[in-house]
Amino acid sequence: MERYAFRMKLKPGFEAEYKKRHNEIWPEMVRVLKEAGISHYSIFLDEASGDLFAFLNREEGHRMDDLPKLEVVRKWWQWNAPLMDVKPDNEPVSIALKEMFYLA
């Protein structure tokens, strides 16, 4: 199992809506994430900066890189695009983070 973390940016004033949308995540979105080998997915907000810190576990041989090809993922990105910094195709701008410490 690999631990993976990344950072995204939430636009000011959208904290409550972002949380609401993720509390009501579409069942088909959950399904494709799990089928891609993703588990223990958490997103945290730094309220001072608007930075979103995401952490997840992904299985060896995961298919996370295939997720952008799926229609439900593209729809999810489009629906959430007004809330955060995104690329032209609505994929959230994300920056992979380097692990510096782990305590099991």
Active site residues: 22
Q: What's 40-89 look like in SS3?
A: EEEEEEECCCCEEEEEEEECCCCCHHHHHHCHHHHHHHHHHHHHECECCC
Structural element, H or E, at residue 24: none
